[in-house]
Amino acid sequence: MAAFFTGCDLEQEPMSVASKSSVFGSQQGLDLYAMSFYNGLPSADDIHRVDNMSDYTARRNAPPFLQATGYSPTTSDNTSESGWDLVALGSDWNWGWGNLRNINYFIQNCNDPKIAPDVKRHYIGLAKFFRAWFYFEKVKRYGNVPWINKALDVTDTLMLYKKQDPRTMVMDSVLADINYACQNIKTTSDASKSLVTKNIAYAYKARICLFEGTYRKYHTELNLQNTASTWLTHASDAAKFVMDQNVFKLYEGAGTDLSYRNVFTTITPVPNSEVMMAAIMDLALSVTHAANWVHTSATTGIRFSFIRTFINTYLNLDGTPFTSNPNYQTTIFKDEVKNRDKRLKQTIRLGDYKRLSGGIQVATPPVFTYSYTGYQPIKWCLDDVYYDTRNLNINPISFFRYGEVLLNYAEAKAELGTFTDADWALTIGALRKRAGITGGLTTKPTVVDPYMQTKYFPGISDPVILEIRRERGIELCMEGFRYYDLMRWKRGELLEIEWNGMYVPELNTPMDLNEDGKMDVAFFKTTKPSPAVSGVTYIDVAPTVSGTPNPVRLKNDTSGELTWLTTVARKWEDKKYYYPIPESHRLTNPKLEQNPGW
Amino acid sequence: MIVQQKQNSTMKKNLNGFCFPREGLATILLRVKLLALLALLYATLGASGSFGQQQRLRDISGTVKEAKGLPIPGVSVFVQGTSVGSITDANGNFRLSVPANAQTLVFSFVGMKGQTVSLAGKSTFDVVMEEETIGVEEVVVVGYGTQKKANLTGAVDQVGSGAFENRSMTNLTQGLKGIMPNLNIRLLDGKPNQSPSYNIRGTTSIGQGGNALVLIDGAEGDPSLLNPNDIASVTLLKDAASASIYGARGVFGVVLITTRNPEKEKTSVAFSSSMSVKSPITTPDFVSDGYTWAKYFAESFVNWEGTYPQAVNKTLKFSQAYFTELERRHNSPLATDKEVEIDPVTGEYVYYGSTDHYALLYKDYELANEQNISVSGSSKTTSFMLTGRYMGQNGLFTWNTDKYEMMNFRSKGSVQVYPWLKIENNTDYSSTKYHNPSNVGEGSGIWRNIADEGHPLAPMFNPDGTLTMSSVYNIGDFWYGKNGFDFRRKTFKTTSGFVAQFLNDALRIKGDITFQKRDNSEKRKQVPVPYSNKPGVIAYVGTTTNDLREILTETQYIATNIYTEYEKNLTEKHYFKLLAGYNYEESTYRRVMAQRNGLIFEDAMDLNLALGQSILTEGGWEKWNILGGFSRLNYSYKDKYLIEVNGRYDGSSKFPADQRYAFFPSYSAGWRISNESFWKVNPDLISNLKLRASYGSLGNGNIGSYNFLETLSITQSGRIFNGVRPQYTRNPSVLPEGLTWETATTTDFGLDFSMLNDRLNFVGDYYIRQTTDMYTIGMTLPAVFGATAPRGNYADLETKGWEISLTWRDKFNLLSKPLNYDLRFTLADNRSIIKKYNNPDKFLTDYYVGQVLGEIWGYETEGFFIDQADIDSHAKQSPRFLTTSSGKIYPGDIKLKDRNDDKEVNPGTNTATNPGDRFIIGNSAPRFMYSFNLGADWNNFFISTFFQGVGKQDWWPSVEAEVFWGQYNRPYNKLPRWHLDNHWTPENTDAYLPRYVSRQNNRTGGILTFAQTRYLQNIAYIRLTNIQFGYNLPKAISSKIGAENVKIYFSGENLWSWSPLYRLTRDIDIENTTPSDQLFTSGNAGDGHNYPMLKSMTLGISVTF
């Protein structure tokens, strides 16, 4: 009978999956694998929603993270509806580490002698780029984290069960990775704007190093101030490298009124020299995002509304601070938005902003069924109302754009103290010029703007740094930088800032916000004016409505700035500079140290 | 032949007959019945007395005796078709005046075979009645053969076709639920195509898993595609010894389904038809009044968030002003109030509706019908049978309803080529179709979609007939009627075989070869659905889909067996049976998936009409083959000592080369104590007593085909690079080293006995199944490992259980007609404990040693906080347990007990050794599964009832179990009516539910996301799974249409049930408390969000010619 058995072949090979040798044995295979790295990038919707938690964002509810007991090591990040209360870019939610293994496995196995060494280095460079991405996000969120540079075996208990490595060691490793990527990624340009190239690696290096340099400089409790300048030098050098390539430039093709906005709303980024790498959308391929839906629907998103304190930082067209006007606090909406940095009208609904409805241009004021403050964002939104329902947006959302490179360069140089007038003209000056600002474009400022200093950065006395930070806030708003900018500047307290809105001079008087001759909104206390003016949204600002405290109030009860949700306290504590290590992971590895204060 | 019923000749040898002087249990029982019978009899006779006088009569007389010549008193003697009759006296004599034209005399007596005697030409009658054997000696199907039930040594259970007769079931699996003890079938939902896997005797393996092997006529098959009317028997091989002849695939038991054969030397045509009315057993009772709903919505929202709601999820705006208007309309409605108004500012619709979504969703009832035909015939040398069945079920939904159809054809035939050789063929073709609607808006199941956006405030339609945005996410999509899945499954199977007999049938050689092809297809269509928020403005959900997806799978299966059997009675004392054979099976699976968007019109149903550039293709392939040599030896000594030895040498492609082959022996033995010479117990009392024991150890072959290879799978990226969505691969899962087979070792002890002249039969088994070296996920590793911990042979599991079945079968005469009845009661239980697991710290997030599977760790609900002082003095609870988003606690919130008195309610280190304040509050595994069957027939009437249920089971309504938690889950959920006066308020402090705060069963940290004692539900239940009654028309009538038999019947499924849960709510059927619809989600969209379980009422007729 044994002979009978051996006659039959019981060897079956899988036919619908690839083997390790076929993947790592050809460039095509390496390419196939390298595509998986990109899954570690945030999604388009991640990016345009990250600023949901920032100092300039008034919203439907106070983020639990900013409430006294709203977040703890037992909180899970990505429950269905709480996800957007947190800042996470990529895979760093809930202490996730799966993408790192994927990268490390590649680096370990990309060693087939059949493949040319420079090709292998190119792909390993890509892998290291994404490992740097992975760790940078981890460090930003958690501070010290364990450094793991191989696909671990079950037997690697020392690595598995180690405590966090010091920030210095991890960031040095991140730097080594991004340096390797800069040196070995071969592609320098990518017309599709979807792939990581050498320039992207340098741009990313600048971003990382600026963060780390300023973090070490301002977080004196780390005692790493003396290492800050090295990182800042790396940052400025890397940014300079990109600038010197002359591959990218600020987009100015649509003039001062439209160029800035077009960077975010042009459907195809290819002719746009400013976008360096983006999440590309295409309805035909069923890849879209939901910016319009989120930012025009009263019900879907958090009703992202800019606060007035931030809107006030937009300069006058002549380059002088709006807040130098003695009456700025009592200027009504339709007037305050005039004669301002043209990025304002390319960021929020105001003035003659029109939307396309069924092919017809319709004047569109901010609507108070959406906005809590009057400052309703349009930055990522397409103008045709067709895009408002469900996720239909096809405008790409950038991971990297040249404007940020300029800002990184400027800030690094300024922090180093090596910033010159020429640098100013090349960076901040150029950005302001594109925004239609006429004054102060060629020489760096010499006078501190007291508004920026008192409202935002009391610890900063260098007028250049203050202006660069103003610029960064305005230029990069809603692009996902703000929260971690506040962290590295050690200005978490700004997250407690009052959520204020436009100035309301009196009750019961309808206001025409966009001067199209139609009244838009009126405010009343308890009793709605009668007869109501048709087409006007009436907002009750009484202290209570139906016995419940009313979140919409006016500063002086019957007039003044709108305030939103002062009924719910937001509380900053320094422990929040880092997220807590989730409790379950500390139970699995008791050597993991909880971040201080949690 | 599968179920043969032979007259038992040996067992009755010592029977003395029934004499009154002899006392015994049996006679006492008989006396009671006799008295009742006499009373009835006299009443009947009295009534007919005057009638008899008018006829011409003649006198007859006689004696009734039993075989040994002793007279039998109390025998009823009747003229057939009349009430004229008498009973025999103490000497067995009777005397009777009968009408002159009377033709036949009927003698009946309990325990004796009835007799009819012609009256023609005689006036004295000496009748000898024969003992009737109630217990029949059954032959049961076992692996590769049959065996006398009396000689079984393993744990084997069998039911015949009666269990499925007259029942409206969409597939066989649904009909098998609850019928046999420890055949555990959990239906999950009520879909007509639902056919879960078969489990025998509880948790099999927490590693590879594994279900019972299902063999249809000896070859693997899909029971859900079988024609239930073709079934002759279903046999369970429960212990290792019985199953081991099937080797590694039979490790967790075998279900042998055998189809009917043509009746011997008879030709018949049978036709049956039935019509059923079906409806959900329960639909939830939710508040549909818009104002009430909104009031609770806002209250629950404010109580959690601390702010007033600005929206109802994502489809309706909400504000204080809006609610004020709702309130006004509720309190002082105006004639001008309309359900739908238009906001003057935005021009958008504003809704003030009261929509009852469940009333809209379901029809009142659905119809199903079934048609069967069967033609069979046989002569001495040939036989054939053709059967066909159509089953159609129209579906529950008002719009785009689900629809189920099934067709079966079978042909069977055999030719006795030579006296020693028979050739057989058995060919089966089955096909099912099922349409299941889906929602393009969010893609989840309809119940979840209604929970999310089915707000009572929003009507289904706008005044212009367009859908509202709320409804487009749920019922509106059904109304639009384009989106859904179409499933088709087809099986073609043909088996050819031969049976050769030599040496006077002592040596038999059998061989067969089976070819089976299974084709499954799934077509999914998703098109955008229009709705309107503003008059004249149409928007769509599902715009990014607009696609068609087709999945085709094909499984080809070849199996062949050749085996020989030698049976010999060496002397009177020694009996041998030897079986040896060879088995080879091969299965090849292929899959093709194609998806493309851009349908040129929305009714397009072919991929050719999809023109978009989002194209997704996938392949798939799996092939395995196994071969085995098997043998079995049966030996019995004087029918007293029974021994069986099985062995199988198994080879499987699913294992790496060095682990590919394994040998699995098993042993069983039986001792028929009642056949011992020292056994002096009166066989009237105990007629049979047998002890059984078996032991066997089997490897688990139920594993993935390529589990041991490092493979990199390829998928399409969701992102665009260079203008396309490229394919990508990524790191493989981590492979372990040095793997070996999982092994299941079963020890079984059985006891069979028959009592009271075989009326009462008992079969009981106790077993211990050790599943060792289970291939489980390794120890929970720190997250930096970055992958699921590799599997390894890390774990051991022990399952202990038992099952009993008790049957009582008897008959007595009622109104001179025999009433046959039988009762069957079964009870089964099992409990599994982890004996070894790679979790030294005993983290509760994983299995741990000592864990009883299903155990629920939770907190003790102490009650509700009374006041601030109570809150302040209680152990710290927030922010770990949230009753508001801010973490602040109010009176009326749940108070959890600080059991370990450490001033904080917490989970400790989340380990079994330090669980903090948690303890085991219950267990989710079903225990004490029971069934109860009662059947009776009398005078052509028959009735049967089948109850089944679970004796003990706990359910923690998990996160998102919205049907239970209502707005405690999400504020915009439905509002169960039983919540209304049942939540804490300052005036109602001893309510069942806490302060009305939403999100407590939704957000992380929400206090109702944690299992706790107060809300743990007891979901034990009893269900009247089937009740039927019917009538066989008298021959006199049926013969007029040339029929041999005509039967009409009524049958009801699931008409009644009860559970302790129903004291609280009937919103969820007890069998629907399972995780949500698996077609749409992985089950995490809320317990109970399922296709409802159905009840049905069926009328049927069957005619046999």
Q: According to the model, what pLDDT value does residue B403 have? A: 95
* For residues B189-218, average pLDDT: 88
Q: B20 pLDDT exceeds 50?
A: no
Q: According to the model, what pLDDT value does residue B5 have? A: 40
Read off the pLDDT of residues B868-900 as tens digits, 9 standing for 90 and up: 999 999 999 987 898 988 788 999 999 999 999
> Environment class of residue A279 by beta-carbon count within 10 Å: exposed (0-12), middle (13-18) or buried (19+)?
buried
B146 or A437, which is more confident = A437
Instruction: Tell me the pairing of strands B760-777 and B743-755.
Output: antiparallel
Q: B53 pLDDT exceeds 80?
A: no
* For residues B332-346, average pLDDT: 90
Do residue A282 and residue B613 have CB atoms under 8 angstroms apart? yes
Q: According to the model, what pLDDT value does residue B143 have? A: 85
* For residues A222-246, average pLDDT: 96
pTM of whole model > 0.90? no
Give SS3 for A64: helix
Closest residue in chain A to residue B781, using alpha carbons only: A588
pLDDT band at A590 (very low <50, low <70, confident <90, very high): very high
CB of B320 within 8 Å of a chain A CB? The answer is yes
Do residue A16 and residue B620 have CB atoms under 8 angstroms apart? yes
Closest residue in chain A to residue B538, using alpha carbons only: A386
Share of chain A above pLDDT 90, in %: 71
pLDDT band at A408 (very low <50, low <70, confident <90, very high): very high
Q: B35 pLDDT exceeds 90?
A: no
Instruction: Return the residue in A6, A8, A12 with the most chain B beta carbons within 10 A, the one to mutate for interface testing.
Output: A12
CB of B885 within 8 Å of a chain A CB? The answer is yes
- Residues from chain A contacting residue B887 (CB–CB below 8 Å): 67-70
Do residue B324 and residue A546 have CB atoms under 8 angstroms apart? yes
Q: B54 pLDDT exceeds 60?
A: no
The identity of residue B349, as a single letter, is Y
Query: Which distant-in-sequence residues (6+ apart) come within 8 Å of B445 by Cβ?
Result: B1076, B1077, B1079, B1080, B1081, B1085, B1089, B1090, B1091
Instruction: Tell me the pairing of strands A275-279 and B219-220.
Output: unpaired
CB of B589 within 8 Å of a chain A CB? The answer is no
Q: According to the model, what pLDDT value does residue A5 have? A: 45
Q: What is the dihedral of CA B468, B472, B478, B480, to 10 degrees?
A: 70
How many contacts does A have with B, using Cβ atoms within 8 A?
288
Nearest CB to B540; choose among A279, A389, A585: A389
pLDDT band at A207 (very low <50, low <70, confident <90, very high): very high
Q: According to the model, what pLDDT value does residue B371 have? A: 94
Do residue A68 and residue B598 have CB atoms under 8 angstroms apart? no
* For residues A393-397, average pLDDT: 93
Do residue A35 and residue B1005 have CB atoms under 8 angstroms apart? no
Q: According to the model, what pLDDT value does residue A406 have? A: 97
Q: B1 pLDDT exceeds 60?
A: no
Read off the pLDDT of residues A278-298 as tens digits, 9 standing for 90 and up: 999 998 888 999 999 888 877
* For residues B1070-1099, average pLDDT: 89
B345 phi and psi, to 5 degrees? -80, -55
Task: Mean pLDDT check: name the lowest of A40-44, A72-76, A490-494, B348-352.
Answer: A72-76
Q: According to the model, what pLDDT value does residue B186 have? A: 86
Tokens of A473: 């806030």
* For residues B379-396, average pLDDT: 92
CB of B886 within 8 Å of a chain A CB? The answer is yes
Q: According to the model, what pLDDT value does residue A77 have? A: 60
Q: According to the model, what pLDDT value does residue B27 have? A: 46
Give SS3 for A454: helix
pLDDT band at A89 (very low <50, low <70, confident <90, very high): low
Residue B127's CB is within 10 A of a number of other CB atoms, namely 18
CA distance B312 to chain A (A): 7
Instruction: Tell me the pairing of strands B213-216 and B254-259.
Output: parallel
Q: What is the mean pLDDT of chain B?
A: 87
Do residue A12 and residue B730 have CB atoms under 8 angstroms apart? no
What residues pair up with B642 in beta bridges, in sequence order?
B636, B670
Q: Return the ∠ at Cα A565 (arms to A564 and A571), rounded to 5°.
A: 120
Q: According to the model, what pLDDT value does residue A88 have? A: 56
| Alpha-carbon A255 to chain mean position | 25
Do residue B722 and residue A75 have CB atoms under 8 angstroms apart? no
Tokens of A595: 């971040």
* For residues B766-782, average pLDDT: 89
Q: According to the model, what pLDDT value does residue B549 have? A: 95
Instruction: Tell me the pairing of strands A537-540 and A521-524.
Output: parallel
| Alpha-carbon B269 to chain mean position | 31
Instruction: Name the residue among B584, B539, B547 with its Cα closest to residue B219.
Output: B584
How many helices and strands, by DSSP H and E, does chain B display?
12, 54
Q: According to the model, what pLDDT value does residue B42 have? A: 41
Q: A-contacting residues of B 788-807, CB under 8 Å?
A: 789-790
Residue A80's CB is within 10 A of a number of other CB atoms, namely 9
Instruction: Tell me the pairing of strands A275-279 and A397-401.
Output: antiparallel
A52 or B39, which is more confident = A52
SS (H, E, C) B400-417: CCCEEEEEEEEEEEEEEE
pLDDT band at B110 (very low <50, low <70, confident <90, very high): low
B395 phi and psi, to 5 degrees? 100, 160
The identity of residue B334, as a single letter, is L
Distance from C-alpha of B423 to C-alpha of B417, rounded to nearest angstrom: 7
Q: According to the model, what pLDDT value does residue B374 have? A: 93
Q: According to the model, what pLDDT value does residue B13 have? A: 36
Share of chain B above pLDDT 70, in %: 94
Distance from C-alpha of B1015 to C-alpha of B996, rounded to nearest angstrom: 15
Distance from C-alpha of A229 to C-alpha of A257, rounded to nearest angstrom: 38
Residue B55's CB is within 10 A of a number of other CB atoms, namely 13
* Cβ proximity of A64 and B879 under 8 Å: no
Distances (CA, A) of B632 to B141, B158, B577: 15, 21, 8
Distance from C-alpha of B219 to C-alpha of B559, rounded to nearest angstrom: 7
Read off the pLDDT of residues B297-307 as tens digits, 9 standing for 90 and up: 999 998 988 77
Tokens of A82: 């709480």
B29 or B701, which is more confident = B701
Instruction: Name the residue among A50, A25, A252 with its Cα closest to residue A116.
Output: A25
Share of chain B above pLDDT 90, in %: 55
Q: According to the model, what pLDDT value does residue B4 have? A: 40
Do residue B885 and residue A64 have CB atoms under 8 angstroms apart? yes
The b-or-e profile of B1014-1026 (16+ CB within 10 A means b, else e) is: bbbbebbbbbbbb
Distances (CA, A) of B32 to B22, B85, B685, B923, B936: 15, 21, 17, 46, 19
Task: Mean pLDDT check: name the lowest of A78-82, A182-186, B911-915, B1078-1082.
Answer: A78-82
Task: Mean pLDDT check: name the lowest of A466-470, B627-631, B860-864.
Answer: B627-631
Read off the pLDDT of residues A362-384 as tens digits, 9 standing for 90 and up: 899 998 888 999 999 999 999 99
Read off the pLDDT of residues B790-807 as tens digits, 9 standing for 90 and up: 888 889 999 999 999 999
Residue B990's CB is within 10 A of a number of other CB atoms, namely 7
* Cβ proximity of A294 and A49 under 8 Å: yes
Do residue A391 and residue B910 have CB atoms under 8 angstroms apart? no
Highest mean pLDDT among B234-248, B254-268, B851-865: B851-865
pLDDT band at B132 (very low <50, low <70, confident <90, very high): low
* For residues B387-397, average pLDDT: 94
ipTM: 0.93
Tokens of A192: 């599709």
Distance from C-alpha of A597 to C-alpha of A579, rounded to nearest angstrom: 10
Measured distance between the N- and C-terminal CA atoms of chain B, rounded to whole angstroms: 22
CB of B778 within 8 Å of a chain A CB? The answer is yes
- Residues from chain B contacting residue A72 (CB–CB below 8 Å): 879-880, 1005
Is cis: bond before B879, omega within 30 of 0?
A: yes
* For residues B903-928, average pLDDT: 93
Instruction: Name the residue among B863, B972, B40, B1060 with its Cα closest to residue B456.
Output: B972
Instruction: Name the residue among B1012, B1013, B1014 with its Cα closest to residue B881.
Output: B1012
Instruction: Return the residue in A142, A539, A587, A598 with the most chain B beta carbons within 10 A, the one to mutate for interface testing.
Output: A587
